[in-house]
Amino acid sequence: MKFNILSEELREAAGELALCGIELGNEVAVEFREGPFRIEYNGERVVISAPKKVQFFYALKLLADEGLPKQGAPLTPECHFDDLTYMLDCSRNAVPKMSTLKELIRHLAVLGYDSLGLYMEDTFTVEKYPYFGYLRTPLTGEEIREADGYCKRFGIELVPYIQTLAHFGTLTRHYAMGHLFDTGDILLVGDEEVYRFLEALIAACAKYFTSRNINIGMDEAYMLGRGRYLDLNGYESRFDIMAKHLKKVVELCEKYGFRAPMMWSDMFFSQAMSAQYGDDLPPCVAESLPANVELIYWDYCSTDEKHYDAMMKKHRVFKNRIGFAGGAWKWLGFTPDNRYSLVSCGEAAKACLENKIRRFIVTGWGDNGAECSVFATLPALLYCSRFNYGNFAVNAAYKRSFLHLTGVKYDDFMTIDLCNRVTQNDDVEEKNSANKYLLFNDVLLGTLDTTIPEGLGELYASHARRLLLAEKKAGRWAYLFETQYRLARVLTLKADMGIKLRKAYAAGDRDRLALYYGDLKELLRRIEALYTAFSAQWERENRANGFDVQDIRIGALKQRIAAAMRKIAAHLSEGVPIPELGEELLDHMGHGNAFEIDPDQCEWRWRRMTSVNVNE
């Protein structure tokens, strides 16, 4: 269906949506009016009424997916959330190029997302603090304004998501910033220089963004007040320290026009639910938060609506507005988990509706390296778009919409999850980071060998065949599948290599060791092919800085495989022992000699999966 959009402004914006399933032409005239959401066809033209501009673009996609409504039978989609946000992590090394941001914005427009959040710990420029974002290629004010203006073309709000308490680990590396910290990555609350620093951050957001919504972070600061703060001030409860700090930060937000800041709820919520108070929360505690702060309950790890419902009801101990953040899982390495994302977000959304929570945030974190592309989670982003209008089923209508959005059949695209599948089971609760820990698990030390069965390489060979077929059908997304295919090819040899080496060495099987030496040589070639595909994916979507970490990690992987080959060769030719392979492994999960084969292993930290030795 080709749309002749009568508004010049909207036609110009819609003209950029061709790759998202919207085509312009003279087939159907379309008019836009403000009003309650309604799509009506009078035989001559389609009239789209909507309270938000972004819903016009959502309506165009709906028409492209489902065809024209019958005359006299208008469509009246009911939007369940006041704000549906996608939040992109820009702080875990992958700072997106402007072309990537704009492509994401176009997809969010046809999916009807109200907001795009940019999560920026130190990846935006701030005057007077040159080490803030130093060598991290932060987004400049000019770039943020460009993205902000582009969002406005489609009726999307660009919102800053920053930190004002913790998660400043990259800053602690700079001597010039060290005086700002209490302990670890947590700021020294109460220090005036800290508040000058935070004011500079908030002022920069006010200058760069037209939105006057802001997320101020404040999550996961569990050691708050236990470092320099304790030395300077003596012991205070974490709750009291948080409350005083929040009051000051909210005052700074209000000074720059941010009237209703959002913050992650975990610090206050965990204190409220602690044994200190039990179920009887004193009024002074419940009322300690400024009334204008919105608490965002974040939870990505359940597929049970009852779990989310119970947690949302517990959040009601506070009188503040409550929002919710679920996750499009892309933070466990190179590979997404769309299957789990659909179920977890869907169950959470049902609980949100039951509890009248009106803000739903879909987070796209990039923990420990941001290897996974945001576009690898398009199935999850579409699903959240559809449940915003009450459509929770992954049915023919959903799959038709996905095909129009991406040009790829849903079932073909979902193979992008395969490198996280370590069994043949179709169990949604089997979520893991196998794609990453099987890649970086050391072939000699093998700290994670106890969690996997021998023979896993055969499953990855099957994954590789399926991914190669999907890549050939993936059109403009083929580069995403190239990375996954090359990764599966690596894991075909690498997944259980440590188990095989240790077993052959213990048995004194020289023939097997010689065979595995050849496999290691082939493995190096496959890793090089993975590196080529992955670096091309990164360069297409992200800025250069940050990939140095991938160079270091993949370079170390190759060097350790070369070391294994050298040691095997010396053992075969001269009988030199291989001490690492002679050590007895203990269960990774802490069960001693009883190995736990674990298909639900979500280890995402590179250091933990490579070695137990000092690596700081």
Positions in the chain short of pLDDT 70:
271-286
pLDDT of residue 498: 97
- 434's CB contacts (< 8 A; 6+ apart) are 419, 420, 421, 422, 452, 495, 601
Note whether 362 and 345 are within 8 A (CB): yes
Separation in Å, CA 561 to CA 442, 497, 504:
8, 10, 17
Query: For residue 568, what pLDDT is reported?
Result: 98
Residue 275: the pLDDT is 46
Give the per-residue pLDDT at 282.
61
Q: Which secondary-structure segment (H or E) carries 169?
A: none
Nearest one of 602, 33, 549 to 337, comparing CA atoms: 602
Q: How far apart are the first and last CA of the chain?
A: 58
Answer whether 32's CB lies under 8 Å from 4's CB: no
Q: Where in the chain is the domain with CATH 1.20.120.670?
A: 414-610
CA distance 139 to 552: 24
For 83-404, give the CATH class.
alpha beta
Q: What is the pLDDT of residues 30-52, one digit of tens each?
A: 999 999 999 999 999 999 999 99
- If you write DSSP's letter for every residue of 561-606 in order, what string do you get? HHHHHHHHHHHHHH----HHHHSPP--TTS-TTS----S------H
Provide the residue count of the chain.
616
The model carries a pTM of 0.97
Fold of the 414-610 domain: Four Helix Bundle (Hemerythrin (Met), subunit A) (1.20.120)
Q: Which residues make beta-bridge pairs with 322?
A: 295
Q: What is the CA radius of gyration of the chain?
A: 26
The two counts, helices (H) then strands (E), for the chain are 22, 14
- Look at the block and give the residue holding tokens 């990039």: 366
Q: Where in the chain is the domain with CATH 3.30.160.230?
A: 2-66
CATH 3.20.20.80, the chain: domain bounds: 83-404
Fold of 2-66: Double Stranded RNA Binding Domain (3.30.160)
| CA–CA distances in Å: residue 464 to residues 157, 223, 488, 492, 519 | 40, 44, 5, 8, 17
- Closest by CA to 373, choosing from 140, 91, 96, is 96
How many CA atoms lie within 13 Å of 117's alpha carbon, on the beta-carbon side? 26
Give the number of other Cβ atoms within 10 Å of residue 121's Cβ.
24
Residue 284's pLDDT is 65
